[in-house]
Structure 1
């Protein structure tokens, strides 16, 4: 799992509660935590934003703001339309991949709703710091609508993981074969990675052959996660769709990078730009940005400078690519506004809530307590019952109270009609605190005579 998907999973675990409950819980957690823990939590929350701001500040300090303004001036209407078209292609195929993964996990997800939610997530990723809050919102909302937030989060994590796996599967061979600033380093790193992987596999095989103990809870959880990932991504009915959509999405991102390079004034060949584009896409996976700007600009400026194409040109390409990505996500703003307007025009009324309550299964009713009367207090709205622990004396008094209740008698009972005024005496004769039985050590009352 890459850094971006790991950040998505971590953030999704922290946003499991509804929005109405998030603010009190967060306030209580921050007010009750020690100052040092609060500072560490704030640094961890805003670390990505601070890192992205530092990267942009260093680039503007070294290269100046002229490069940034020049890249923005080169963007025209045909370039924006090209960004919208490429963005629509990648978003539709990404939503299709999400649908296939969700269906493989047993969750219902219509394709139209998936496209709208994906556009909204892209816009939130581009507009909010961190770059993963839109995916977190998409995962939690889908999980809440499906009735399983955990499975909804895992579906989004697996969907994004599939895209990162496709990027690595294409990027590693390209970086190992085509000329690039990291060709020598990539070959050395690939050799070391292969040796480390073989050593780790040998150790795992030796340990499993020498141990016959029961698997631990962590190993069982890891095995369940791998089984679910294999079912969602490698099943017979899902892997062709996931593979095709991942390849198309990656091709769309590379095509947008080539368009940004041409707009920024770079005349290098696509073969020369392909490794640089893959490096920029890998840097985009780091959740250390401000609306997508940060590591992408730094890595692109360094790669273009190392390739002899000019660091200022690389920064201009990254800026144009960021603007095109933001324009491609603007339909997500329309989705947000449309759903907000629909919520204002068609609020949930009491009739709809009553209809849902009628369709919901009724709770089993308790049998009426003998001798209970319908008093004005009993006609009030029922309150939620809270189970509390009772002491031994309380349980004894409760059992005594149950014995105190007089059994119901029919209205035609002549004894009941004749001695109706002595109901309190018949009840008190079996009640512990006001007993009229001599065996219980209580005095006789006038009503019992």
Structure 2
């Protein structure tokens, strides 16, 4: 039921946004994607997935769960792909958590390892967003800096709450892997912005990118679409870049993020193939056992 409500809310958000800025902003985002940007997304996705998998390995091992880096990369890719194609955007993470827990003989610890791994990443992301807003305050014409300061305080409180849940595994390595992953996501956002035709300088785009990434963590979306588009429409509109361009940038990012997760199809198909092969072997053994 919760999943249905989340998807419903995302649909409402997208519908309201479409009525406000028009369908053209969404279509422009799809049309703007070019092969070079897809190639860049695949390369960036490979790097960010590797560092995300390394973070997962570090957290899991800290909890006494063994996992090889190669296996973690494949499972993480599969999780990213399932997150993109299934409602709510978190079912891929649930899948890899349960799968790893079953292999390790402890599903609860497998689930906890993934939850803590994702929380650790969010802690670093929120802190990075606060730091970026402090270094490069977002200029909103006609408005004082108080809203930015309030947003920073709220983000700081959120980061503190997340840190309390993940502090036992926030080692230097986990933080380092998380920073590298965050940098990869920001780079993908910058590629999406340039692809969409945004000419704003980096010191303006980076805080917006980090803030958008924090919003994307809200599990109310359809294939990742929903709050991201709404936030960027408001943020781009407030900073003078234009709400429609914000939506277009968000859509480009969504398409590129989907492309970056496409390699996850390979481990997904491999996993489906293994049970089939095992079933075929069992069928072949039956006549021999009967004879």
The one of 49, 73, 76 equivalent to 2:31 is: 73
Equivalent residue number for residue 169 of structure 2: 232
Are the structure 2 counterparts of residues 298 and 159 from structure 1 closer, same or farther at C-alpha, using a change threshold of 3 Å? same
The answer on 1:248 being equivalent to 2:180 is yes
Question: Please, which runs of 5 or more residues in structure 1 have no aligned partner?
Answer: 1-41, 198-225, 234-238, 354-449
Equivalent residue number for residue 146 of structure 2: 184
Contact 2:6 2:88 survives alignment (8 Å): yes
Of the two, which has the highest radius of gyration? 1
Alignment size in residue pairs: 276
Equivalent residue number for residue 267 of structure 1: 199
Equivalent residue number for residue 77 of structure 2: 119
The answer on 1:314 being equivalent to 2:254 is no
Superposition TM-score, scaled by structure 1 size: 0.58
CA distance in 2, matches of 1:189, 1:64: 28
Are the structure 2 counterparts of residues 48 and 149 from structure 1 closer, same or farther at C-alpha, using a change threshold of 3 Å? same
CA distance in 2, matches of 1:248, 1:191: 24
Contact 2:57 2:67 survives alignment (8 Å): yes
Are the structure 2 counterparts of residues 193 and 322 from structure 1 closer, same or farther at C-alpha, using a change threshold of 3 Å? closer
Equivalent residue number for residue 280 of structure 1: 212
SS at match of 1:142: helix
Question: Please, which runs of 5 or more residues in structure 2 have no aligned partner?
Answer: 159-163, 286-291
Q: Residue 179 of structure 1: CA displacement?
A: 2.6
Equivalent residue number for residue 87 of structure 2: 129
Deviations 1:216-249 (A, max 9, x none): xxxxxxxxxx7x944433xxxxx22211110110
CA RMSD for the aligned pairs?
2.4
Are the structure 2 counterparts of residues 172 and 230 from structure 1 closer, same or farther at C-alpha, using a change threshold of 3 Å? closer
Are the structure 2 counterparts of residues 345 and 281 from structure 1 closer, same or farther at C-alpha, using a change threshold of 3 Å? same
Q: Residue 148 of structure 1: CA displacement?
A: 0.7
Are the structure 2 counterparts of residues 145 and 57 from structure 1 closer, same or farther at C-alpha, using a change threshold of 3 Å? same
Deviations 1:269-316 (A, max 9, x none): 010111111121111010010000000000011100000001111111
Deviations 1:71-126 (A, max 9, x none): 21111111111000001100011001000111111111011110010001001111
Q: Residue 55 of structure 1: CA displacement?
A: 0.9
Query: Superposition pairs for residues 32-71 of structure 1, below 5 Å?
Result: 42=1, 44-71=2-29
Equivalent residue number for residue 336 of structure 1: 268
Q: Residue 346 of structure 1: CA displacement?
A: 3.4
SS at match of 2:200: coil
Contact 1:279 1:300 survives alignment (8 Å): no
CA distance in 2, matches of 1:54, 1:332: 29
Query: Superposition pairs for residues 75-114 of structure 1, below 5 Å?
Result: 75-114=33-72
Deviations 1:163-204 (A, max 9, x none): 10001111112223423149422324556898x99xxxxxxx
SS at match of 2:87: coil
Are the structure 2 counterparts of residues 345 and 190 from structure 1 closer, same or farther at C-alpha, using a change threshold of 3 Å? closer
Structure 1 or 2: more helix by fraction = 2
CA distance in 2, matches of 1:301, 1:124: 26
Deviations 1:108-158 (A, max 9, x none): 101111001000100111101101111011111111110111111110011
Are the structure 2 counterparts of residues 184 and 320 from structure 1 closer, same or farther at C-alpha, using a change threshold of 3 Å? same
SS at match of 1:276: helix
CA distance in 2, matches of 1:45, 1:191: 30
Are the structure 2 counterparts of residues 278 and 145 from structure 1 closer, same or farther at C-alpha, using a change threshold of 3 Å? same
Q: Residue 60 of structure 1: CA displacement?
A: 1.1
